[in-house]
Structure 1
């Protein structure tokens, strides 16, 4: 009887320990201190990863960041993109008003900044997280930090694109955003492909393409109408 009680007590201790460890691991996702190491990255490394995002056909971005993924690029790029599209979007509407009717009073629309922040931060954080948890559920060994890193750098192309969208030729602006959207979407899909090889998850690749392209169209339609 004493042996059975001892065995039961032992099981309770280990069960509690496993539960505590699982809870600790889960809380780690929401702890800021867990991500400090991902901001310790050299400028040269960030610039090299930015250059890689302009060459989507290689599809080897995860190989480059395998030992040292960073979140600095994602945060910096997302924040820069927010201010760039908000400022240049206002500038584009100002130029449009000046061309159409100089008598119309124009004012800076601060709502552009709010919309840009919600859209860009929401997309940069939630989309990679959604793909990560979905692939985890499907049995893939995905990495949330690597996904955040890759998706973050995929947004950089929209920063120089925003400057080009100030060109007052609508047809040319559509060509520019379609090229940028295609390049960014290809970068995401081709790199994501390495996580689904051997699995029939083509729908995920198509979804990543569509979402990235939809973001490009959103930037054009909302901020540079």
Structure 2
């Protein structure tokens, strides 16, 4: 009875008492290496055969900033926005929610190593839709505590817009 699918909005309800921060840390850590590796591998597969391939180590640094920054700053910004509008979410719960929403990007990043822009876009759009649905469905309950309907809409736009920006950045820099 305590099992919850990641697609169910009950995730936030189940983690409110004991938000897990191990998952977000390890998911982000995995994504740092998987996206940098897959991005370099995709570049290798696209490289001209007569030109020696050189791995781009800056992908690891940018990947670190991208994933740890996203899992840290987006929840913090949403937390501050919700507090400013009278809601009282737990920052740790938001970090947990944002971190677990990224799990689908692990296999997506691996699949993006396939040297086809069409496949990359399809994979990233599917991952973004799945991840955004999970995040929005679970954040909706936290955002509902805000009195103003406009502030609730703005909060949900922040959630969805942040995910869209993450996905577009991932595609254009890594793949």
TM-score after normalising by structure 2: 0.91
CA distance in 1 between counterparts of 2:72 and 2:143 reads 21
CA distance in 2 between counterparts of 1:221 and 1:173 reads 10
Aligned equivalent of 1:78, options 19, 23, 28: 28
Deviations 1:206-225 (A, max 9, x none): 1210111211121111101x
Q: Which runs of 4+ in 1 moved over 3 A?
A: none
Report the 3-state secondary structure (helix = DSSP H, G, I; strand = E; otherwise coil) of the residue aligned with 1:211. helix
2:120 equivalent to 1:173 = yes
Quick check: 2:78–2:158 contact (8 Å CA) kept in 1?
Answer: no
1:18 is matched with which residue?
A: none
CA distance in 2 between counterparts of 1:191 and 1:204 reads 13
Report the 3-state secondary structure (helix = DSSP H, G, I; strand = E; otherwise coil) of the residue aligned with 2:16. coil
2:78 equivalent to 1:127 = no
Report the 3-state secondary structure (helix = DSSP H, G, I; strand = E; otherwise coil) of the residue aligned with 1:216. helix
When Rg is computed on C-alpha atoms for both structures, the one with the higher figure is: 1
CA distance in 1 between counterparts of 2:131 and 2:143 reads 19
Shift of 1:61: 1.0
1:222 is matched with which residue?
A: 173
Deviations 1:140-197 (A, max 9, x none): 0211000000000011110000111122222122111111111111211111110222
Q: Which fold has the larger relative contact order, with Cα–Cα distance below 8 Å and residues 6 or more apart in sequence? A: 2
1:32-111 mapped onto 2 (5 Å cutoff) = 52-53=5-6, 55=7, 58-97=8-47, 101-111=48-58
Deviations 1:24-70 (A, max 9, x none): xxxxxxxxxxxxxxxxxxxxx9xx77xx33x2xx2121112122211
CA distance in 2 between counterparts of 1:158 and 1:193 reads 22
Flag structure 2 segments of 5+ consecutive residues without an equivalent: none
Report the 3-state secondary structure (helix = DSSP H, G, I; strand = E; otherwise coil) of the residue aligned with 1:146. helix
CA distance in 1 between counterparts of 2:74 and 2:143 reads 17
